[in-house]
């Protein structure tokens, strides 16, 4: 089985595929001062199995266009939307965030939790800007250095994983240069990593290995996850997820 299929198998039973929590999704809505009664069109890019898409559909008077590369995740999202009674407010599209089939100025809000690294923050915020109406909001979470310097072991790991990890001031500068006016930023608390993401994933490790015949590829994937978890636990004072809220200016 290839790595993508194994990763889908590991993650599709999770309510989230990255750090986050309902309370912080709502905190971002509050920071953005979104009018919950106004009819809105929202895109959730890299939505995974739908934690934020379903919550946004419940909290807003909005239609959510949920996009992910993997149909398996969207199938779970559809089941969750149905059981939450919001399936008429969400449409799911399997496509790449690099080739979004949207019209210019189609959305009031573009939302993306823990996913923009797949295209890269700089490219993502620049390309997605045209899909927002003038004055529309971008809400995006992105892995972020919490301090100006950090231990070499941590720096080396993330340099190898994602070349755009940077401090919040650098991310905010990119937003300014890409036609947005920053509204605010906050850091996800550690519970969003440990209790909402890593611990539920760890509880799926045994079943994952069993389903996949304890294969070398499956064990390699778990050891990479375990290394990331150990590094987070050791160095969580230096690395976090920033949630960035910005308004389109042009």
Ligand X SMILES: C[S@@+](CC[C@H](N)C(=O)[O-])C[C@H]1O[C@@H](n2cnc3c(N)ncnc32)[C@H](O)[C@@H]1O
Site for ligand X in 27-86 (CB under 6 A): 46-48, 51-52, 67-70, 73
Cα separations in angstroms, 27 against 20, 31, 117, 180, 184: 11, 6, 22, 20, 11
Strand partners, 139: 111, 245
Q: Which is nearer to ligand X, 199 or 249 (CB)?
A: 199
- In this structure, how many other beta carbons lie within 10 angstroms of the beta carbon of residue 86? 20
- As measured in angstroms, the least distance from the Cβ of 50 to ligand X is 8
Q: Which is nearer to ligand X, 21 or 89 (CB)?
A: 21
Q: Does the protein bind ligand X through residue 240 (CB under 6 A)?
A: no
- As measured in angstroms, the least distance from the Cβ of 166 to ligand X is 18
> Of 42, 48, 38, nearest to 89 (Cα)?
42
- As measured in angstroms, the least distance from the Cβ of 149 to ligand X is 26
Q: Which is nearer to ligand X, 127 or 211 (CB)?
A: 127
Instruction: Name the segment binding ligand X (CB under 6 A); options: 114-122, 151-159, 205-213, 229-237.
Output: 114-122
Going by DSSP bridges, is the β-strand pair 180-187/239-248 parallel, antiparallel, or unpaired? antiparallel
Q: Which is nearer to ligand X, 47 or 60 (CB)?
A: 47
Q: Which is nearer to ligand X, 54 or 246 (CB)?
A: 54
Mapped onto helix, strand or coil, the DSSP state of residue 213 is coil
Site for ligand X in 81-110 (CB under 6 A): 96-98
| Torsion, Cα of 155, 179, 23, 232 (10° steps) | 0
- As measured in angstroms, the least distance from the Cβ of 154 to ligand X is 19
State how far the Cα of 59 lies from the Cα of 241, in Å rounded to an integer: 23
- As measured in angstroms, the least distance from the Cβ of 148 to ligand X is 26
**Beta strands of the chain (E only): which ranges?**
40-45, 62-68, 90-94, 107-112, 132-145, 166-167, 180-187, 239-248
List of residues contacting ligand X (CB under 6 A): 16-18, 20, 46-48, 51-52, 67-70, 73, 96-98, 113-115, 118
């Amino acid at each position: 089985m290839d790595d993508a299929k194994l990763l889908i198998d590991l993650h599709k039973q999770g309510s989230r595929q990255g750090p986050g929590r309902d309370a912080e999704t709502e905190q971002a809505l509050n920071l953005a001062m979104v009018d919950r009664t106004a009819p809105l069109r929202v895109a959730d890019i890299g939505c995974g199995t739908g934690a934020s898409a379903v919550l946004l559909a419940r909290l807003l008077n909005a239609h959510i266009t949920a996009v992910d590369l993997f149909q398996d995740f969207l199938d779970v999202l559809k089941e969750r939307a149905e059981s939450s009674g919001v399936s008429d407010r969400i449409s799911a599209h399997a496509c790449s965030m690099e080739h979004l089939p949207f019209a210019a100025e189609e959305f009031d809000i573009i939302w993306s939790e823990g996913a923009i690294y797949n295209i890269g923050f700089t490219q993502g915020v620049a390309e997605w800007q045209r899909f927002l109406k003038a004055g529309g909001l971008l809400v995006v979470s992105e892995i972020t250095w919490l301090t100006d310097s950090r231990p070499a072991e941590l720096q080396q790991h993330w340099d190898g994983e994602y070349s755009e990890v940077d401090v919040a001031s650098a991310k905010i500068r990119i937003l300014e240069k890409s036609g947005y006016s920053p509204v605010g930023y906050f850091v996800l608390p550690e519970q969003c990593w440990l209790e909402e993401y890593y611990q539920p994933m760890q509880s799926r490790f045994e079943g994952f290995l069993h389903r996949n015949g304890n294969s070398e590829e499956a064990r390699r994937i778990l050891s990479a996850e375990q290394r990331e978890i150990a590094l987070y636990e050791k160095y969580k004072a230096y690395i976090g997820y920033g949630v960035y809220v910005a308004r389109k200016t042009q």
